[in-house]
Homo-oligomer: A and B are copies of this chain.
Amino acid sequence: MSAGTGGRLLAGGEHGPGRLRELTAVVLDALESGARARGGPLPAGGPEAVARRTGALCSPVLPEEGVGAEAALADLVRAVAEGAADPADPACVAHLHCPPLAVAVAAELAGAALNPSMDSWDQAPAAGVIEELTTAALARLIHPGAPAPDALITSGGTESNLVALLLARERAAPAPLRVVTGANAHHSVHRAAWMLGLPAPTVVPCHDGRIDPAALDRTLAGLGDGPVLVVATAGTTDEGRIDPLPEIARIVERYGAELHVDAAYGGPLLFSERLAPRLAGLEHAVSVTFDLHKLGWQPVAAGVLAVADTALLAPLSLRADYLNADDDTEAGLPDLLGRSIRTTRRPDALKIAATFRALGRRGLSELVEHCVRTAEEFGRAVDAHPALRRRPGGIGISTVLFRPVAADALEPEAGDAVVAEVRRTLLMDGRAVLGRAVAEDGDGRRRLWLKATLLHPAAATADLLPLLDLVTEAAERAAAEGDGGGGDTGAPVTERLSP
């Protein structure tokens, strides 16, 4: 049967790669020229300027008559590149937003061109095998001592946490599940409970950004009988802190509860023999959220949910005659439908597998260690800088919190407003993408900090140091403009900070 149909239109078949050669050339040229035109970590001018330039290149999005593939790609890719916040620039450090590896991005092209859907064998014969090999490797990495560990590919930490709570709810049924988590947990834990119709999680206070074990003990004692899932975090979003997993696991066991660990950020420390001990206690978790689009340098999405035993996934099993009829399954067609809460599903395992094969465990370990080392060096540079002050305490994985000393000289609210203004000024000027986090200071008071989440696997500490002077200059300007009132933004920022 002819496989050549649609040669100028389609990415697949015999002629697809040839057409993709032409179109990816347009894309790569536009990526290059867009990055040059941007000339920094993000575009200057702020949201209005970006909206204007992007709209000029891309409107109308849905014209009556098309402009053709080459013209559409040249304009849209130029717009998205010129208007990107590029995490490959060392000054783009706001979020757990990693610069993707070229090998993973190239693998994405193959996945998109072939478009396997991971919900049945007859849509993904080989891609299904690659997913199985990849999740098996991840399961062994995360639960090395378990007899039958397993792992699912998800759209990210939020979906992983959602599925973890769903599985716990079903294990508990018909008894109602109670979820207990730290004040430092990601918002997705609360959102998952809300979506699943569970009571709002009970929040355990933190000390220094980590769950206080004594407080967890009191909380569990107060809950009485009934199934409980404790959600701890290995790498908090704000500070990169790892909850005291061994103590938490002991308390959880004493109360007959279960432990889920959100290791979306910290999980890849397991690639490094030197850093893996920081995750001691993870082996007690019934399920683990793990994410390779953070410290794994994958383009989104590359989420993982690992479970200690494959039998724990049973609540996801599902029959749909068109995808996994009993007689097809019995005749040997693999049943893939119970591997996700989605139906149609991308071959995200392909880019993960390509990265794993390309770098090996040792290569990934080196990149993780690079980020951790760079953060430590960056922290020391902050400590040595006369105009900046680091949050007291250790560095959380690769996250450094700091603020200008000039902000400390003001009233607390005005100081926080200066910090927020520094971040926005650097964003608007297109000079740096720094994050923000409210966290405990040495005096126990919660203050606003600038956050540098260092995920660049190749940037040297020297590449990051210019950030310090950018912050200092912007802080001096903000402090000089008064008490940190946000320029043209009306009411003082101090009144608007979340508690």
Contact = CB atoms under 8 A, between A and B. Distances in A.
B47 A9 contact: no
> Quick one: copies of this chain in the complex?
2
Given A76-B354, A125-B42, A89 B332 contact: no
Contacts of A459: 5-6
A42 B198 CA distance: 44
Contacts of A424: 328, 331, 333
A359 interface: yes
Contact of A451 (B100, B133, B198, B322): B322
Interface string A79-109: 1111111111111001111111111111111
A334 interface: yes
A354 B72 contact: yes
Nearest to A96: B344
B62 A141 contact: yes
Given A3-B35, A327-B493, A80 B114 contact: yes
Contacts of A463: 1-2, 5
A319 interface: yes
A89 B127 contact: no
A443 to B, nearest CB: 20
A432 to B, nearest CB: 8
A20 interface: yes
Contacts of A319: 498
A204 B437 CA distance: 51
Contact of A50 (B32, B107, B125, B493): B125
B62 A299 contact: no
A386 interface: no
A300 B157 contact: no
B106 A23 contact: yes
Interface string A56-70: 001111111111110
A213 interface: no
A475 interface: no
Contacts of A331: 424, 486, 489, 493
| Closest A-B pairs by Cβ, 6 of them | A83-B126, A197-B197, A12-B88, A6-B458, A66-B360, A13-B88
